[in-house]
Amino acid sequence: MMNVEEYLDSLKQLKWKIYLFGEMVDNPVDHPIIRPSINSVAKSYELAADPQYEDLMTAQSNLTGNKINRFTHLHQSTNDLVKKVKMLRLMGQKTAACFQRCVGFDAFNAVDSVTFEMDRELGTTYHQRFQNYLREVQGKDLVVDGAMTDPKGDRSKRPSQQADPDLFLRIVERRTDGIVVRGAKAHQTGAVASHEILAMPTIALGEEDRDYAVCFALPSDTEGIFYIYGRQSCDTRKLEGGDIDVGNCRYGGQEALVIFEDVFVPEERIFMCGEHQYAGALVERFAGYHRQSYGGCKVGVGDVLIGAAAQVAEYNGAERASHIRDKIIEMVHLNETLYSCGIACSCQGAATASGTYLIDLLLANVCKQNVTRFPYEIARLAEDIAGGLMVTMPSEKDFRHPKLGPYIDKYLKGVENVPTEYRMRMMRLIENITLGTAAVGYRTESMHGAGSPQAQRIMISRQANLDYKKKLARIIASIEKE
């Protein structure tokens, strides 16, 4: 497995084409806006090397028998599924941000089981190709961007009906040695911190959309791939030189629009090529795994936010107020409910035909449906406890100013024995998680990541087994015999 320095060095070897604020980024690894997000990914390497966290952060590969980073593992039991959720909570606690490695992890497990079933039913060789690829990923301890979301264009139309056919990633040419693809993937978490891209379809597809039924993996600096880095609230604070106003100066998340401009994919890296009837299963399983993930990662960030709210209450001198205590209890209740759902869908998982374990899809969707709501309430309560100063206090430059600083220190003082700077830092951390750059990976991603709220409601409806529930009621009401 790689260590942190080896990971950072490996990224510096990549020949990415990354654009930020309209300009090509020469050194993305050390760019002040991008580097905190890379630090979040690097944390997965740091913790994997720490004996204290070895049980959660590493696993034994079922493909090679070697010790590997759990982020590259295929789940072999419900215990693996539970450890995944616990690992993600730990990562959230350590970074207070999106650590970006989940999407590739969830993609591995979805692609593994679906390609196995494709080969069994169609006589293809996708599963062997995929496992060969995963052996390479595990052996090199690579970060992989699981790329599912297409721009989608007009949501009322299928991919093949779009005025611009490139609004869903598609095959534009089939060759004897591979394919050529064109299109884009949007909202790509961790794309500019990844060695590889594993692309998948974004919706269930019909025969008319078979050119969009494509799954493949490529190095992230492949010719024809380029990145347009996404904006985040307050992101330019990272360019100002200080660290108080950033809130979380060490860690962050990232999203990018990834463009595929007639990109060649060699045959050995193709895991679906026109088999449209399997696109829906791949989407459903990936989404299920990713919805399970949110019962861990969002909970870990929530732990930090709850701690920050409790700490700022002490700095404000309000920690003994009954309404403050009640609000913190409510935050804990909501956060642990999310965690309970993540654990529950893991414990109720079962093996697929390939041997890889899949979570309980109904409970995973219930988990994510709660995630679309509870972090917003947790954030609201944190903002309530912090007070309005969180978004109105002067800048760090003013605080460091020889004339203005003493006034800020005097008039923004809370509890006498707590430095004003500590109070400012804690409020900026809350601002960062609820409104700033980390809000992308906490609030908004809680709503739209792994599918919008309606996507989970559709899956809950499909998985609810209402006919069975109606039968139970008929039997209890003596309308039908058992």
CA dist., res. 420 & res. 416, Å (int)? 9
Would you say 444 and 232 are in contact if contact means Cβ atoms under 8 Å apart? no
Catalytic sites, residue numbers: 98, 102, 189, 255, 290, 294, 297, 445
Tokens of 127: 């599963």
Contact assessment for residue 36 and residue 251, using Cβ atoms and an 8 Å cutoff? yes
Element (H, E) at 353: none
Residue-wise burial string across 57-78, b where 16 or more C-beta atoms lie within 10 A, e elsewhere: bbbebebeeeebbbbbbbbbeb
CA distances from 385 to 183, 322, 471 (A): 45, 12, 48
Q: How many CB atoms lie within 10 A of CB 10?
A: 16
Beta-ladder partners of 60: 67
DSSP-derived 3-state class of residue 43: helix
> CB–CB of 97/248 below 8 Å?
yes
Question: Could you tell me how many residues make up the chain?
Answer: 482
Give the dihedral of Cα atoms 467, 468, 469, 475; nearest 10 deg: 110
What are the structure tokens assigned to 300, written together?
A: 């870990």
Could you list the beta-strand ranges (E) of 187-245: 196-199, 214-219, 225-229
CA–CA dist 10, 6 (Å, integer): 6
Which parts of 165-213 are beta strand (E)? 170-175, 178-185, 196-199
CA proximity to 130, closest of 83, 200, 56: 200
Burial class (CB in 10 A: 0-12, 13-18, 19+), 291: buried
| Phi/psi of residue 271, nearest 5 degrees | -120, -5
Which residues touch 254 (CB under 8 Å, ≥6 apart)? Answer: 34, 37, 98, 100, 189, 190, 191, 192, 193, 229, 230
Q: Give, in degrees to the nearest 5, the angle at Cα 301 between 297 and 304.
A: 150
Q: Give CA separation, 143 vs 41, 186, 255, 373, in Å.
A: 8, 18, 15, 30
Both tokens of residue 106?
């969830």
